Amino acid sequence: MDAPLAAKSGHQGTAMSLAPLAHVLYSRVMKHDPSNPQWVNRDRIILSNGHASILQYAMLYLNGYGLTLDDLKSFRQWDSATPGHPEVGHTAGVEVTTGPLGQGFANAVGMAIAEAHLRELHGPETIEHNTYVIVGDGCLMEGISHESASLAGHLKLDHLVAIFDDNRITIDGSTDLTCTDDVPARFRSYGWNVIEAGEVAEDCDAIESALNAARAHIGAPTLVVLRTHIGFPSPELTDKHEAHGNPFTADLVSSTKKVMGIPDEPFWAPEQLVSAYREHATARAAEAVKQWNSEANTSARATVESSGILDAASIKASLPVFDESTNLATRQAFQKVLEATADSVPNVLAGAADLTGNTGAKLPATSGFSASNRSGKQVYYGIREHAMGAAMVGMALHGGVIPVGGTFFVFADYMRPSIRLAALSKARCVFVFSHDSVGVGEDGPTHQPIEHLASLRAIPGLQVIRPADPNETAHAWLAAVTHDGPTAIILSRQNVPSLTHGEAVHPGAAVIHTSSSPVATIIGTGSEVGVAVDAAKKLSSEGINVNVVSMPSWERFAALSVEEREAVLPSSLPRISVEAGTTFGWATYATHSVGIDRFGASAPGNVVMDKLGINVDNVVATTKAAIGQ
């Protein structure tokens, strides 16, 4: 209560009612080591209802994860270790960044997939731990929870335990206003084991018993339904929606402390109590780590602990090289790249949302990950883009695997919240989006991306790469797996010629067609690089010399020095961009743009491209206009 009061902001009601649960998880059930928060065999804990972050911060403080009372006092303040919602990489002991409801639950499913896979590969003596996720009504109302729970039940992820904070309150009021779902029945229909713990939210022994039963259950994930009372034991606001999002007043805090029988002073934390708590945590951790050290396979342990370290030179050496006679869709090239680098990037878990062959996100000659085959490296997500995106974030943040997930580019919209959180979390996910333009063709405007490149480029920390040809596709994969964060690789449905050696990917842009005394620069991305080159050749036949730049990644190009960027795109020359999508944003690099600022149409892909101006004649005309001819 004290931290939200001091911040004049926060959500103490849920944290109050879940305090006994958190105490039991951290002090009796979970296997964790505060002195080494990244211990690879720790149990993972995710607060999907991340607005209750003060609950997790209180437990991290008590268990000795490095938080201090001053950190709690600076809750939700600038540059504090206790931001409004938990952020991975910012606060030790926080596994994922949560807040958008339901995302943490789906992250937990991904973590459970990673754990099951690694357990099968390296043995339970080296990897065997549980993922615990606390979810609220809001998490389970969000659609992503359906997709994720369905997937988890199908895969029988029995090291996943979700605890449902059944307080029946949302910001607007009682859940009776909006929801009459039978949550236990819903989860049983997914194939989950369900424990209806009942009115035991203040009974630590009963909570422990329920969690131990959940942990022991084999063959299905478990949902523990815990009936709680938001704001308890406040005399005034227990079970009231006002307890959810509004910090208690000083009087309300005082009246609650009186009920609790503790001093009415802010941030009361007796030294003896805190020391005893930390000693207990240290002793439990030492026992768990000692047992693991004595049982873990030394070789397997070293493999898991070093899994995040990749040899870029080895990967580069294993990349396939496509000669100039190759005419191949970049989605097909991507699959060949995955196959060629299987040994140099061995920890890939690839999958797609029912579009495995269509997107290229397929590992040839490998089996599918399933309830009966945990060693499989191909994850079949089904038609669940929301769940796939968030599960990939969980897998990446779990560690030990590199998740690759594919779908049609237009459905990046279904994954955007997860992609955004991947960027915020620096999760090394590789999002593969094929069918990247109106070249999709007959499926029409619902399936033809227009604004999607601009949309993804707007996300800070997301590396977006749209390769021009098979060789750039190979180098895009190298850039993705060696990047400290997520990457979106945007691939073509239609065949494209091999025009480059992949040299533009590392710097983000490079001149691939040069001419003497150029009067303009044409910039292309993806399949439009071929259009740009053909336009340059036609202009040359008319005595107009231009350079062509392939620009697969704005983000990588923006990281260059001013001088390096000027060498590729001289500001003294007109610069014409060619991209089969919205021209929004191109003013950063181009003086003139050829693009598509409308939705597409249903027709063969080459026809749609031509009718919407993505053709040589339009690029030639635009270039001439740019140079005043």
Residue 385 designated active-site: yes
3 state SS for 263-326: CCCCCCCCHHHHHHHHHHHHHHHHHHHHHHHHHCCHHHHHHHHCCCCCCHHHHHHHCCCCCCCC
User: Which residue(s) pair with 414 in the sheet?
Assistant: none
The pLDDT score that the predictor gives to residue 300 is: 95
pLDDT in tens, 598-622: 999 999 999 999 999 999 999 999 9
3 state SS for 339-374: HHCCCCCCCEEEEECCCHHHHCCCCCCCCEECCCCC
Contact (CB, 8 A) for 521 and 441: no
Closest CA to 391 of 107, 46, 104: 107
Contact (CB, 8 A) for 44 and 7: no
Q: What percent of the chain clears pLDDT 70, i.e. is strictly above it? A: 100
Residue ranges matching CATH 3.40.50.920 in the chain: 510-626
Q: Model confidence at 365, in pLDDT bands (50, 70, 90)?
A: confident
Q: Model confidence at 292, in pLDDT bands (50, 70, 90)?
A: very high
Is the previous residue joined to 233 through a cis bond, with omega within 30 degrees of 0? yes
Q: How far apart are CA 107 and CA 86, in angstroms?
A: 14
- Look-up of token digits 């890939």: 348
Closest CA to 351 of 373, 366, 372: 366
Which residues neighbour 558 within 8 Å (Cβ) at sequence distance 6 or greater? 508
Q: How many Cβ atoms are within 10 Å of 485's Cβ, its own excluded? A: 19
Q: Model confidence at 366, in pLDDT bands (50, 70, 90)?
A: confident
Closest CA to 598 of 614, 587, 586, 612: 612
Q: CA separation (Å) from 301 to 66, 120, 121, 192, 274?
A: 26, 13, 11, 31, 33
Contact (CB, 8 A) for 329 and 495: yes
What is the chain's mean pLDDT, rounded? 97
Q: How many Cβ atoms are within 10 Å of 263's Cβ, its own excluded? A: 10
The pLDDT score that the predictor gives to residue 372 is: 98
Q: How far apart are CA 138 and CA 48, in angstroms?
A: 10
The two tokens of residue 499 are: 């025009």
Q: How far apart are CA 415 and CA 385, in angstroms?
A: 6
pLDDT in tens, 492-550: 999 999 999 999 999 999 999 999 999 999 999 999 999 999 999 999 999 999 999 99
Closest CA to 396 of 372, 417, 423: 423
Q: Model confidence at 135, in pLDDT bands (50, 70, 90)?
A: very high
Q: Is the pLDDT of residue 156 over 90?
A: yes
Helix (H) or strand (E) holding 173: strand 173-174
Summarize the confidence of residues 5-19 as an average pLDDT: 97
Q: Model confidence at 364, in pLDDT bands (50, 70, 90)?
A: confident
- pTM for this entry: 0.98
The pLDDT score that the predictor gives to residue 514 is: 97
Angle at 510 between CA 505 and CA 511, to 5 degrees: 145
Closest CA to 200 of 47, 31, 18, 26: 18
Q: Is the pLDDT of residue 226 over 90?
A: yes
Query: What is the phi-psi region of residue 434: left when phi exceeds 0, alpha when psi lies from -120 to 50, beta otherwise?
Result: beta
Q: What percent of the chain clears pLDDT 90, i.e. is strictly above it? A: 99
Which is catalytic among the residues 87, 142, 385, 472? 385
CATH architecture of 510-626: 3-Layer(aba) Sandwich (3.40)
Q: How far apart are CA 267 and CA 265, in angstroms?
A: 7
Residue ranges matching CATH 3.40.50.970 in the chain: 2-295, 312-497
Q: How far apart are CA 163 and CA 16, in angstroms?
A: 16
Q: How far apart are CA 276 and CA 285, in angstroms?
A: 14
The two tokens of residue 42 are: 């720790």
Q: How far apart are CA 124 and CA 605, in angstroms?
A: 51
Summarize the confidence of residues 476-481 as an average pLDDT: 98
The pairs formed by 171-179 with CB atoms below 8 angstroms and a separation of 24 or more are 171/241, 171/244, 171/245, 172/241, 173/241, 174/241, 175/137, 178/141, 179/137, 179/141
CATH superfamily ID and name for 2-295: Thiamin diphosphate (ThDP)-binding fold, Pyr/PP domains (3.40.50.970)
User: Which residue(s) pair with 329 in the sheet?
Assistant: 495
Specify the CATH number for 312-497; select among 3.40.50.970, 3.50.50.60, 1.10.10.10, 3.20.20.70.
3.40.50.970
